[in-house]
Amino acid sequence: MKDTADTAKFVDPMVTAKGEARATVSLTDPQTLWFNTGTLCNIECENCYILSSPTNDALVYLTADEVGNYLDQLDARNWSVREIGFTGGEPFMNPEMVEMTRRALERGYEVLILTNAMQPMQRRRVKEGLLGLKDAYADKLTFRISVDHYGADLHDKERGSGSFERTLDGMRWLRDNGFHMSVAGRTVWGETDTESRAGYAELFKQENFNIDAQSPATTVLFPEMDETVDVPEITTECWSILNKSPSEVMCSNSRMVVRHKGADAPSVIACTLLPYDPQFDLGQTLEEAERDVALNHPHCAKFCVLGGASCSA
């Protein structure tokens, strides 16, 4: 098979377009279990990888009881997970978000919530719930705020006019109430990593945000995820060529729970980036989700193996 047409790549989960053995990744050290709380969001970003919007409910709201069921499964399967992550959509659109967070914290897990810190998080009921959690679990709870650029113009270009200031309002509330914060930005603006981090550092200084702009763990800069870009397929030989281990790839240490609209029950997805691709749906239970994952998608190559990115803390 010739590796010339885009359609020839990422087709067969076992072999590449050139007929070479495709790389697979085993779940060797589960550290994070993600829950996608639903794809509904209060805004619609220009380049949202999961197509979240005020109208997209392709992934419907998870319930606190469903989250609790998977926390029980973690105990039964004896996974070594230390962190529970919540993403969306906008997690605080989900009416049970505070209760889901509570149940994870009560089990002793660290909790990471990905949010835009805008109106859904700033509702009085939500703030009261978060303040209640802070008193008992402050050191275990972190909010990762989406700040696509450290300047209002480029951030608003992605997320809509006025969104930068509304996000900062939410971050100021988190700061003033002693919550831990980190930031997720983007690398699509033609800046070097050094330039971007310097810009975030100045913003954090101005706002007195206790966030380290130089740390990739607390200021995470994500590449753009464009499925139309031509990227190489990852073969089994790539590990030695790239001097990289499968254990460095996200699907070796994490899974994500979603509930598809119309589905009878939630299911477990191999990757936080690929909730709509059925080949990465591993089944309804954590036991089923322990199987190997074939790197049969452009995101596997560009974002994880070659880009070295991680959604975890």
pLDDT band with cut points at 50, 70 and 90 for residue 188 = confident
Q: Write out the H or E segment, with its range, that includes residue 181.
A: strand 180-186
What are the C-alpha distances in Å from 57 to residues 123, 257, 276?
Answer: 21, 15, 12
Q: How many alpha carbons fall within 13 Å on the CB side of residue 82?
A: 6
* Gap between the Cα atoms of 155 and 61, Å rounded: 27
What are the C-alpha distances in Å from 16 to residues 227, 239, 240, 242, 298?
Answer: 17, 15, 17, 17, 12
> Considering the chain, what is the average pLDDT of its residues?
92
* Gap between the Cα atoms of 200 and 202, Å rounded: 5
Supply 8's token pair.
């020839």
DSSP secondary structure letters along 265-291: S-EEES-TT-TT-GGGB--SSTTGGGS
* Gap between the Cα atoms of 139 and 127, Å rounded: 17
Supply the pLDDT for residue 42: 84
* 3 state DSSP class of 175: helix
Share of the chain above pLDDT 90, in %: 79
* Gap between the Cα atoms of 73 and 256, Å rounded: 13
> Are the beta carbons of 295 and 305 closer than 8 angstroms?
yes
Supply 243's token pair.
């001097």
Q: Mind listing the domains of the chain with CATH numbers?
A: 27-305 (3.20.20.70)
* Gap between the Cα atoms of 286 and 267, Å rounded: 9
Predicted confidence (pLDDT) at residue 37 exceeds the cutoff of 60: yes
Dihedral sign (CA 273, 279, 282, 284):
positive
Q: pTM here? A: 0.92
Q: How many CB atoms lie within 10 A of CB 229?
A: 11
In the block, which residue shows the tokens 């480029």? 154
Rg (CA), the chain: 19
Predicted confidence (pLDDT) at residue 45 exceeds the cutoff of 80: no
Supply the pLDDT for residue 227: 63
* pLDDT single digits (tens) 219-268: 999 877 666 678 889 999 999 998 999 999 999 999 999 999 999 999 99
